[in-house]
Amino acid sequence: MAGATYIRPDKAETFLRMLVGTNLLGSPCAKLLRALDTPGGYTQRLRQHMLETSLRENLHWGLDDLLE
């Protein structure tokens, strides 16, 4: 393809991780958690499930419940 630029997947992943990580480090945790707390969303449902049960033992079951 004319004008196409190839980006190596390993370089793209490194850049993306740095970009996301830098933003996470520079933001208050509570604000980030609220942003992920979409009503009825997978993250909220998983968090609620984990809070209502024994976190460690039920992580696998919680992820399975999201697929239903």
Instruction: Tell me the average confidence (pLDDT) per consecutive run of 10 residues in the chain, 68 residues long.
Output: 72 87 80 81 84 74 80
Which of 53, 37, 46, 39 lies closest to 67 in space, CA to CA?
Answer: 46
- Residue 3's pLDDT is 62
Q: Considering the domain boundaries, does residue 15 fall inside one?
A: no
Tell me, what's the pLDDT at 52?
A: 82
User: Containing domain of residue 39, as a range?
Assistant: 30-68
Total structural domains within the chain:
1
Q: What is the pLDDT of residue 2?
A: 59
Determine the Cα–Cα distance for residues 47 and 49; give it in Å rounded to an integer.
5
Q: Is residue 20 part of a domain?
A: no
